[in-house]
Amino acid sequence: MESDRAGSSRKRIDTRTVVMLLVVLGLWGSAFAAIRVGLEAYAPGDLALLRFLVASAVLAVYALCIRLPLPQVRDVPAIWLLGSLGIAVYNVSLAYGQLSVSAGAASLLIGVGPVFTALLAMVFLRERLKVRGWLGIVLSFIGVALVARGEGGGVRFEPGALLVVLSALSFSLYSVLQKPYLSKYGAMGFIAYAIWGGTLSMLVFLPGLAQTVRQASLGATLAVVYLGVLPGALGLVIWTYALSLAPASTVASFLYLVPVSAIFIAWVWLGEIPLALSLVGGVLSLVGVVLVNTQGR
């Protein structure tokens, strides 16, 4: 009886944690709409760089406040590569993809990330998938194809959707390969290092950024700053804190709500409503993701 009570208490999630997670989901859901606003004045690379210059500055202040130690020199190349993959490739590909893919549809495509994570975990972590897991993967990829066709007007395949899928794949690879460094440096420390490394890689977009900022509308610039401060830095800090208060599997299940949040915010903010084919594909993708992560491993 005592072990049952202990197990149930570990699975329970309190109201404070739920509120924090809902805030994070709102912030992360709003990022897709904010990217669309930023793209009105910024090229995708410029947008991603400015966003993470802001996030890097915020996290630098946070790191000074908590006296975050520097990583070991031998780990710097690996952390830089992981940051380049999970921050630079992810965000630049997503921004380029959203030139032609709506905010809501992009969030649905990003939602298949856990499926890629499960496949990569088979390769790198030697995890196994059950038959239901493979069924979930098939459903998810059928859903991705439907979303891509929906964003192409229901007739042609929208190439921008492939860039969004590349974002999901790059972040999944980052999520699998980061595990030894997470255990070594802790979640908040590693996230800060990865963001700084990814921002360093995006400095290739620095030439001309100052001029772009001067020419951009105030609304577009504020949208990019918002992306760096709130969905970027603050969202990651709150998410990491929530992970320390509840089981990771329970906290991660809230990520299934990000596309719902993104579609609603894009509707209110931008007036975007995904086409029916995109919504059907998104539902199939999310059903597949849930199947992989709840019944498939």
Question: Cα–Cα distance between 237 and 24 in angstroms, integer?
Answer: 9
Give the pLDDT confidence of 125-149 residue by residue, as tens digits.
Answer: 666 777 777 787 777 778 777 776 6
In angstroms, the CA 89 to CA 106 distance is 15
- Measured distance CA(27)–CA(210) in Å, rounded: 27
* pLDDT at site 148: 65
**DSSP annotation string for 209-253:** HHHHHHHS-HHHHHHHHHHIIIIIIIHHHHHHHHHTTS-HHHHHH
Q: Does residue 10 surpass a pLDDT of 60?
A: no
DSSP strand E in the chain: where?
none
- pLDDT-above-70 percentage for the chain: 84
The predicted pLDDT at position 87 comes to: 93
Q: Which of 47-61, 125-139, 224-238 has the lowest mean pLDDT?
A: 125-139
Q: Which of 89-103, 116-130, 157-171, 208-222 has the lowest mean pLDDT?
A: 116-130
Q: What would the mean pLDDT of 51-57 be, rounded to a whole number?
A: 96
CB atoms within 10 A of CB 83: 27
Confidence of residue 176 (pLDDT cuts 50, 70, 90): confident
Is 59 within 8 Å of 233 (Cβ atoms)? yes
User: Which of the pair, 158 or 177, is modelled with greater confidence?
Assistant: 177
pTM: 0.82
Give the pLDDT confidence score for residue 250 in this predicted structure.
65
What's the pLDDT score for residue 3? 43
**Per the structure block, which two tokens stand in for 169?**
């794949």
So where are the chain's domains? 29-295
Collapsed DSSP state (helix, strand, coil) of residue 194: helix
Mean residue pLDDT of the chain comes to: 83
